[in-house]
Structure 1
């Protein structure tokens, strides 16, 4: 996991955690990132100071207990994940348990290129990765309207 310090166009700063830089870039390019304070979708990386020194266990516990300014709260994170779910459902086809099969068909140009979502086992994800198919795993939270 990688943590980015982010800033929206209106100047709000917040953190975002991503599997890797490619995942961040894909979500950003797809317009799936938004500010938890104002909802602005124009989100860019902010400058960050690298963490160099390792803290003692006591210092780590104290740091975790303090809420840094602009930190994403659980309700805001849930709202962001609900927006991602809404965007995925609106713009992609649900393949259910046939996700891996359809992703492979699209990759081999045997099916029309489009966004899809569904369930995939660890073995399916490993097979797709070997074939060169890029997939994202996202937390699937309850819908905002229900």
Structure 2
């Protein structure tokens, strides 16, 4: 992971690296992210229905204590998911209506934009990574999206 051990990692970079890494590298990145003042979570979701993707990420964020039920926090989360989702859909925000399916990993990272910078306030980042394509095995391709908003 290069200079991450020495220099820390920004909020968006933590979200993207977390969604891409697995195994020992994932565990090390989670530990380093927590040391940088972030709360982190990684999960997975697959669907042809965008509402199910949004719901899975929102449910995970609430269940893991990354957001509470205040409007401002839910609103920041929603827009972060929407930005990441927009990125993986190439500007066409929809799956089932255009016969695409998605198998995605997602990461949620909450904290300051830069490591241990509490003066900057709280932000939330969502990264999505996985495959998308026609609902036929072998017809998919990789996708990656990132959304960041202030809480």
What TM-score range do you get, normalising by the shorter chain?
A: under 0.3
Q: Report the TM-score when normalising by structure 2.
A: 0.24
Q: Which structure has more strand as a fraction of its residues? A: 2
Question: Relative contact order (C-alpha < 8 Å, sep 6+): which is higher?
Answer: 2
Q: Report the TM-score when normalising by structure 1.
A: 0.25
Q: Which structure has more helix as a fraction of its residues? A: 2
Which one has a bigger Cα radius of gyration?
Answer: 1
